Homo-oligomer: A and B are copies of this chain.
């Protein structure tokens, strides 16, 4: 794929420099919109606008829909007013909302004024739904049919209206009040006898409402393998649809959010290189600060047990090893539990089972690692007592890590917070504090310190 990309890029540059615009135009017309968008993204805005103007109108709109909002924003200044109006008018409704979501409010306001009254109404309607709700990402450009049409009439209607619709492969059956009655695939329609009624071949619809969260919409579409899902208002009137290509974007976006949350980063909207250093620092600061605040408790713990550290200096040598191991086990457990909760493999009722499994796993892993710890302490000539302390402490911190990693995501789930908020860094910190207390208590008992 990348070879192809570089070859296209080279040809475009050559034709551009040689001013062979006719050949350039022909070359662009053979390319995929996604590829043109990618290549244009690497050009300065002025050249981008120039290339854009070489595209046939339909292709131009498609390319536009594949571009990043930052790239689009840079281009807008170079377009004429009528060009801007035309592009905004022709974009599909869902892509336009997505673009508006990322542009500055002032720009959006200006762009809205360039739309025809009809399109402006649609655009405003979509922008009124809350971010990341189904309403915000849907498009009203669907094919609607009536139950009393024949399949032949339905296919005719599809043919006449296909151009302006997001998909024609799933059609939606509504009554005169626009209540959603059913869905029917184009496949069913063209396979049916021409005089069959649509009402006889349509299926009961799986649908979502405008307020449903986009992540839930993606889950439902993935569960039922839907190519498109109807979105209804509170009265079950059809208002829009969401198609599978949006689902891919949602899933990727939600996964990125979860990755970030689990690493103690507040979700970053831009891609890494587009975000400013200040934005990145800001999104990372909160959890680092919460963790260092919590971690500060370890100083108190260590100060309190300094009598033990002073009488047996060797105890200090194992502090990073111990709390590190506990933290790592905690990160592993929390990742398994969070991912299980997100995918629905683990449910609230399973909490007992999960705790039981994590205790068993903790004993197995802690036991195996404890043998290593015992050997390690022996090698450092710490004496029998410290070695035994380290071995027991390893088992204890692995169990502790597993418990923190299990319970914290479940608690978040109970409080209706995204379990992914229980990030590895936070769990590691919690384990540090309690791990040290456990370590010194074990030491105190085994080494009879006081």
- What residues make up the interface of A, taking CB atoms closer than 8 Å to B? 1, 30, 32, 34, 155, 158-159, 162, 168-169, 186-187, 190-191, 204, 206, 216, 220-225, 227, 244-245, 247-249, 251-252, 255-256, 258-260, 262-265, 268, 271-273, 277-278, 280-281, 284-285, 287-289, 291-293, 295-296, 298-300, 302-303, 306, 309-310, 313, 316-321, 323-325, 327-329, 331-332, 334-340, 343, 345-346, 350, 353-354, 357, 360-361, 364-365, 368-369, 372-373, 376, 380, 398, 424-425, 428-429, 432, 436
Q: Give this chain's copy count.
A: 2
- Closest Cβ of chain B to A422, distance in Å, is 12
Interface centre among A249, A262, A425 (most CB of B within 10 A): A425
Task: List residues of chain B with CB within 8 A of the CB of A260.
Answer: 335-336, 339
Report how far A222 CA is from B66 CA in the complex, Å.
11
Beta-carbon contact of B328 and A291 below 8 Å: yes
Beta-carbon contact of A272 and B346 below 8 Å: yes
Beta-carbon contact of B288 and A365 below 8 Å: yes
Task: List residues of chain B with CB within 8 A of the CB of A369.
Answer: 288-289, 292
Beta-carbon contact of A187 and B168 below 8 Å: yes
- Closest Cβ of chain B to A425, distance in Å, is 4
A186 with B159, Cβ < 8 A, contacts A220-B1, A272-B340, A361-B280 known: no
Q: Which of B245, B281, B292 contacts A321 (CB 8 A)?
A: B292
Beta-carbon contact of B327 and A327 below 8 Å: yes
Given contacts A260-B336, A331-B425, 14 further A-B contacts (CB under 8 A): A169-B186, A169-B187, A244-B244, A244-B248, A252-B343, A260-B339, A272-B337, A273-B354, A287-B332, A299-B318, A300-B380, A309-B313, A327-B425, A328-B429
A285 with B368, Cβ < 8 A, contacts A299-B321, A320-B302, A320-B319 known: yes
Task: List residues of chain B with CB within 8 A of the CB of A293.
Answer: 372
Beta-carbon contact of A353 and B321 below 8 Å: no
Q: What is the interface of chain A mostly: helix, strand, loop, or mixed?
A: helix
Report how far A107 CA is from B234 CA in the complex, Å.
50
- Closest Cβ of chain B to A164, distance in Å, is 12
Beta-carbon contact of B339 and A288 below 8 Å: no
Task: List residues of chain B with CB within 8 A of the CB of A273.
Answer: 340, 345-346, 350, 353-354, 357
Q: List 5 A-B contacts (CB under 8 A).
A: A32-B204, A264-B331, A273-B353, A288-B328, A296-B321
A425 with B186, Cβ < 8 A, contacts A263-B335, A317-B299, A321-B299 known: no
Task: List residues of chain B with CB within 8 A of the CB of A30.
Answer: 204
Beta-carbon contact of A298 and B313 below 8 Å: no
Report how far A429 CA is from B309 CA in the complex, Å.
23
- Closest Cβ of chain B to A51, distance in Å, is 19
- Closest Cβ of chain B to A290, distance in Å, is 10
Report how far A369 CA is from B292 CA in the complex, Å.
8
Beta-carbon contact of A265 and B380 below 8 Å: no
Beta-carbon contact of A329 and B365 below 8 Å: no
Report how far A354 CA is from B309 CA in the complex, Å.
41
Beta-carbon contact of B159 and A190 below 8 Å: yes
Task: List residues of chain B with CB within 8 A of the CB of A339.
Answer: 256, 259-260, 272
- Closest Cβ of chain B to A349, distance in Å, is 11
Beta-carbon contact of B265 and A332 below 8 Å: yes
- Closest Cβ of chain B to A403, distance in Å, is 15
Beta-carbon contact of A278 and B364 below 8 Å: yes
Beta-carbon contact of A296 and B332 below 8 Å: no
- Across the interface, name the chain B residue whose C-beta is closest to A344: B271
- Across the interface, name the chain B residue whose C-beta is closest to A246: B225
Task: List residues of chain B with CB within 8 A of the CB of A318.
Answer: 299
- Closest Cβ of chain B to A158, distance in Å, is 8
Q: Which of B245, B328, B346, B360 contacts A287 (CB 8 A)?
A: B328
- Closest Cβ of chain B to A410, distance in Å, is 13
